[in-house]
Every structure is written in structure tokens, then in C-alpha cells.
Amino acid sequence: MAKITFLPAGKTMKARPGQSIMSVAKAARIVIPQRCGGHASCLMCRVVVVSGQVSEPSALEKRKMPEADLGNAIRLACQTKVTDKDCTVRIPESKWKSVVQAALEKQRLEEEEW
């Protein structure tokens, strides 16, 4: 069994070779956004393979994803399979989350001034 570490959560899970990154994340209760149910049509479940080894891109993934993304280790969690090697993947923060966090921080600073 391989160990998969999810960033930024820092949570590590054991996984069997052939499991998708998405299914391992669900078992770890880590949310990776997606709408299509794992059919690579929404392209929302992008993750960055930071280190380690995962499966080669599937034909579907190669057809849907830009070559530049695949070259930069950006993969679809629904299509990327675990191998027998450990790996670390980063789940990018949603743009909305960072906007909300910045607004909350600004509000907190304004309240401190009062």
C-alpha cells in the first residue's frame, strides 16, 4: 500500500494501487471540488502532484487537459490513479475562498482600530 499526503491539509492516507486520488480523498474526508461524478467533464478536480509517483495520464485526461498543465504535474483527481509508490498532492485553494478570507481579515483589522 502507498501513502498519499494531501496538502494543505497535511493529512496522509493509505491507498491501494489503482485507486483514484478522488476516492482516497473522499475516504480521508478531504473535499476536492467536482461536479461530473468522476467523468473528467467538469475539470474542477485539478490537483498538483508535488512529489512521488502516480499513474500516467489516461487518454481521456490527455484529451481534456492542456499539455502545459500535464507537463506541470497538474492532474485530474478523478482520473489519476495511485501506484505502489507514496505521493503528495496539493489541492489548490478556490479563488472564492481566498477572496472571502481577505475580506474577513480586512474586517477584523478595521474592528481592531475601533
DSSP for 20-43, written as a single string: BHHHHHHHTT-----SSSSSSSS-
Provide CB contacts within 8 A for 110, sequence distance 6+: none
This prediction has a pTM of 0.78
Q: Which of 82, 88, 98, 73 is nearest to 21 (CA)?
A: 82
Domain residue ranges of the chain, discontinuous segments joined by +: 2-113
Backbone conformation region of residue 79, classed left if phi is above 0, alpha if psi is from -120 to 50, else beta: alpha
107: left (phi over 0), alpha (psi -120 to 50) or beta: alpha
pLDDT tier, 97 (very low <50, low <70, confident <90, very high otherwise): low
* pLDDT tens-digit readout, 37-84: 888 889 999 999 999 999 999 899 999 999 999 999 999 999 999 999
In the CATH scheme, what is the homologous superfamily, with its name and number, of domain 2-113?
Beta-grasp domain (3.10.20.30)
Pair 78, 22: CB distance under 8 Å = yes
> In terms of Cα–Cα distance, which of 10, 13, 7, 20 is closest to 82?
20
| pLDDT tens string 10-27 | 999 999 999 999 999 999
